[in-house]
Amino acid sequence: MVTAEFYRWGNLGVVLALQALRKTYPGFSLELSLSLPQGQTLALLGPSGSGKSTVLRLIAGLETPDSGSIRMGERDLLALPPEKRRVGMLFQDFALFPHLDVYENIAFGLREAGWPAEAIRRRVGLLLEQTHLTPHARKRPHLLSGGERQRVALARAMAPGPDLLLLDEPLGALDRRLREALILELRALLAGGGPTAVVVTHDQQEAFLLADQVAVMREGRLAQVGSPEALYHRPADAWVARFLGHRNLLTPEQAERLGLPPRAHLLPSAALGVGEGAGARVLERLFLGERTGYWLDWQGLRLYHETPDGRWREGETLPLSLDLGRAVPLEGA
Ligand SMILES: Nc1ncnc2c1ncn2[C@@H]1O[C@H](COP(=O)(O)OP(=O)(O)OP(=O)(O)O)[C@@H](O)[C@H]1O
């Protein structure tokens, strides 16, 4: 939809670095350090209230930290007012100007920044074309679909060629089918050669699909930072594992009972299979369409297994094979 061409100017060599950043509200404190190479996308993923939006607002300059630093390459962002930070922000509700049409919404920031009329015309024309909004240029936002509004907001955030794009739940207000289509468009925009971007989301799939690096936040701290694969296959602790949707976690006592070292372990889905193993009683059968999920009782352990084979019913015995060699040791209980 949008190409790297947008980012020719302005952002070479830029790296985002948050250093010992602190912000305290009554009952909440944020404290983290983070860095992001140029052109990469970082997703801030975490439960509600973990501080994701606060990080974005601090970078954008909508909030001031108590201490710490925020740098983009050589530039100290905290020394600059929001409008001088060269940061584009897309808000959860898109925050389009209702009285301006699509064209003027996209052109707004450029006019404010004093771009010459001809440059604005060319820039907005290009953005309209590449976000497939040209036929809608003269419509006001209330006449647009949710997906179209999202594209206008995106085009507006990108119009001045910002060094950094901040996206707060960019697909949050859209229904599920639209999200699935738009997530791939957004991914194409953010991938190779696209802008450096920070995306806030509470949706793990969205984070995994969009981001090069995912930072999992918990109560104002970073629980873990890594590539989607690293995070999913090697979660740092049981909280992160659970948050990322792993269901088969062993306490140190359970691990020891199975002959593993006495610490918390994750049993990834690849460790479980239907085979020759000992019987596991089906406690609950969940028909999911392509697959069927089973909550099982296996030697006093409650385990979850999903397979395309839906033949076992509640109370029946499923032959479970368990490969303990695949168990992943975790920090914490
Ligand atoms: N201006 C403020 N004044 C007081 N408390 C605030 C303010 N802004 C945020 N908070 C508190 O800081 C905490 C983190 O909020 P934040 O919006 O960053 O979380 P979040 O992870 O983005 O949550 P969500 O996913 O629900 O949007 C919350 O407990 C919130 O109530």
Q: Note the CATH architecture for domain 4-241.
A: 3-Layer(aba) Sandwich (3.40)
Structure tokens at 27: 């009952």
Provide ipTM, 2 decimals.
0.96
d(CA 318, CA 315): 9
With a CB cutoff of 8 Å and minimum separation 6, the contacts of 231 are 214, 216, 224, 240, 244
Q: Residue 9: what pLDDT?
A: 39
Question: Domain-by-domain residue ranges, the chain?
Answer: 4-241, 249-329
Can you tell me which atom of ligand 1 is nearest the CA of 51?
18
Task: Please state the pTM of the whole predicted model.
Answer: 0.85
Helical H runs in 91-174? 102-112, 117-130, 146-158
Ligand 1: residue of 24, 25, 171, 219 to mutate (most ligand atoms within 8 A of CB) is 25
Measure 41 CA to ligand 1 centroid, in angstroms: 22
Measure 23 CA to ligand 1 centroid, in angstroms: 11
Which residue's CA is the closest to the ligand 1 atom numbered 6?
Answer: 25
Ligand 1: residue of 28, 168, 171, 199 to mutate (most ligand atoms within 8 A of CB) is 28
d(CA 268, CA 247): 8
Which residue's CA is the closest to the ligand 1 atom numbered 2?
Answer: 25
Q: Residue 4: what pLDDT?
A: 42
pLDDT tens sequence for the chain (333 residues): 344 444 443 444 558 999 999 999 999 999 999 999 888 999 999 999 999 999 999 999 999 999 999 999 889 999 999 988 989 888 777 788 999 999 999 999 899 888 999 999 999 999 898 788 999 999 999 999 888 888 899 889 888 888 899 999 888 766 777 777 778 878 887 776 678 899 999 889 899 999 999 999 999 999 999 999 999 999 999 999 999 999 999 999 999 999 999 999 999 999 999 987 778 999 999 999 999 999 999 989 999 999 999 999 999 999 999 999 999 999 865
What three-state secondary structure class fits 13?
Answer: coil
Q: Residue 3: what pLDDT?
A: 42
Ligand 1-lining residues (CB < 6 angstroms): 25, 28, 46, 48-54, 202
d(CA 17, CA 58): 12
What three-state secondary structure class fits 154?
Answer: helix
What three-state secondary structure class fits 141?
Answer: helix
Measure 189 CA to ligand 1 centroid, in angstroms: 28
d(CA 302, CA 10): 54
Measure 68 CA to ligand 1 centroid, in angstroms: 19
Query: Which amino acid is residue 208, in one-letter code?
Result: F
